[in-house]
Amino acid sequence: MEKITKDLFSLKDRVAVVTGGYGHLGSSMARSLNAFGATVIVAGRNEKKYVNAFSARERKSILFRELDITLTSSIEHCITNTLNEFVHIDILVNNAHTAKGNSQENMSDEDWTYTMEGIVGSIHKTMRAIIPNMKRQKSGKIINVTSMYGIVSPDFRLYKGDNCEVFTNPPHYGAGKAAMIQLTKYYAVLLGEFNIQVNALSPGPFPKPEIQKANPEFIKRLIEKNPMNRIGSPEDIAGAIVLLGSRASDFITGQTIQVDGGWTIW
């Protein structure tokens, strides 16, 4: 039984593409998939951030390929070149997004359109690019990284006070992340017959180190609001990403797994 359990989570000989895989949570996702045997392609715009995120030893099996999620041509180029190099892509983690604007009541049309395209439009494009390959394989795992604010509204009381307004979550972010959850369900149904599982991963409060350092009072309020009485660390995302990328999730599709310390249960 022990061998069967270990094999369920093995990612040996799998190729995973993680968009934005050098960021706060993306780097943890890339490391976790790699630790279980996958060759990981960190796809993004900034190679310098990739080099800073991973050691020289890690960069032997966690590789960088250029990808701009705002450009259809860049997405298609990255997926095609990766397939030419590795023949198959088994796991796609749609982690990257791009956004503009932080206004709650005076959001410009330009910022709204850019952000919705940068959140939900971009994952539609990456899935569109990779689906033909996964259909041919008759297997694949697609993991869309959404947010607790795609499930619940922000509690705006958390953002009151000195220097806190800058952290306030804008309306188009949560709307885009909620759309991701629906798109996940849609493609899970569409691709189920091809043995392709499409799921979403919804992180909760994972503030970056610079935010924690800049405003400890804001972090204290986040901690006090959460049922587990703490914020998340990047390592907390590891188990869920490996589960959704491995054979252990072969009968899980269209679901949103909330890694949030209980944030969305009340």
| CATH number where 247 lies | 3.40.50.720
The count of structural domains within the chain is 1
Q: Has residue 180 been placed in a domain? A: yes
Q: Over its length of 266 residues, how does the chain's per-residue pLDDT go in tens digits?
A: 556 676 899 999 999 999 999 999 999 999 999 999 999 999 999 999 999 999 999 999 999 999 999 999 999 999 999 999 999 999 999 999 999 987 778 889 999 999 999 999 999 999 999 999 999 999 999 999 999 999 999 998 888 776 656 677 889 999 999 999 999 999 999 999 999 999 999 999 999 999 899 889 889 999 999 999 999 999 999 999 999 999 999 999 999 999 999 999 98
* Residue 226 belongs to some domain of the structure: no
Residue 138 lies in a domain: yes
Mapping DSSP onto H, E and C, the string for 19-51 reads ECCCCCCHHHHHHHHHHCCCEEEEEECCHHHHH
pLDDT of residue 162: 60
For 201-242, the pLDDT digits (tens) are: 999 999 999 989 988 988 999 999 999 999 999 999 999 999
Q: What is the pLDDT of residues 163-184, one digit of tens each?
A: 656 677 889 999 999 999 999 9
Boundaries of domain holding 28: 2-155+170-208+234-265
Q: Is residue 197 part of a domain?
A: yes
